[in-house]
Chain A
Amino acid sequence: NAGVTQTPKFRILKIGQSMTLQCAQDMNHNYMYWYRQDPGMGLKLIYYSVGAGITDKGEVPNGYNVSRSTTEDFPLRLELAAPSQTSVYFCASSYSISRGAGVNYGYTFGSGTRLTVV
């Protein structure tokens, strides 16, 4: 039982390049999330998904795209990388009984991807 697996762990991109951060979970969680964490700061939500085929924007979605074709995978796409996207990216998953009830179980985070855009 691996939990949440993120790849790659580190990446350096040049300005204008694109890349996909991979995230996979094997806990059959319905909710998945992408957060970014800038140095010394909290976590900001980029995108989230409540199930396969359903995604929605978080607080800071500009410059990113997501898709969720399966329950297990939730890749994050960076198009036209900019220095402002230098950050640590965390994928997380959780299980929720009901979307409207606001009751989620605890999040399980992946180990993160440290991205530098130069």
Chain B
Amino acid sequence: QQPVQSPQAVILREGEDAVINCSSSKALYSVHWYRQKHGEAPVFLMILLKGGEQKGHEKISASFNEKKQQSSLYLTASQLSYSGTYFCGTLTTDSWGKLQFGAGTQVVVTP
């Protein structure tokens, strides 16, 4: 079962912050985050392993709450280049290396 992402879309002004959530109904081994710009392939941002660690990529960071089976992606002081669709991908106890992707969150950053 694919993870649920929220919100579906968000519009930001440059410099504003946003949070994207990813929830699973199954126990998670790890969570991946990807960004896809229009007409391009998804690009890997970061992976979070169970244990509640937090990671960062430029001013984009993420957390993973194993007990709640959810992850959040934080866009801090957003830049125009952050525009795109963000996907979380989850590895569950029975998925053995097969990422299941959420439906995506479209992020638009305006000047």
Chain A interface (Cβ < 8 Å from any Cβ of B): 31, 33, 35, 41-45, 48, 50, 58-59, 90, 94, 96, 99-112
Contact = CB atoms under 8 A, between A and B. Distances in A.
Given A41-B103, A44-B101, A107-B44, 7 more contacts: A42-B101, A42-B104, A101-B29, A102-B97, A105-B47, A106-B44, A111-B40
A83 B102 CA distance: 24
Q: Which of B40, B43, B49, B99: most chain A Cβ within 10 A? A: B99
A106 B97 contact: no
Contact of B43 (A35, A48, A103, A109): A109
B102 A42 contact: yes
Interface of B: 2, 29-30, 32, 34, 40-44, 46-47, 49, 87, 89, 91-93, 95-104
Given A103-B30, A105-B47, A110 B91 contact: no
Contacts, number: 68
Nearest to B94: A102
A102 B40 contact: no
A102 B96 contact: yes
Contacts of A96: 97
Given A43-B87, A102-B91, A103-B49, A108 B44 contact: yes
A103 B2 CA distance: 18
Contacts of A43: 42, 87, 101
14 contacts: A33-B98, A35-B101, A43-B42, A48-B98, A90-B42, A96-B97, A102-B92, A103-B29, A103-B30, A103-B91, A104-B91, A106-B46, A108-B44, A109-B43
B45 to A, nearest CB: 8
Contacts of A102: 29-30, 91-93, 95-97
A100 B32 contact: no
Contacts of A44: 101
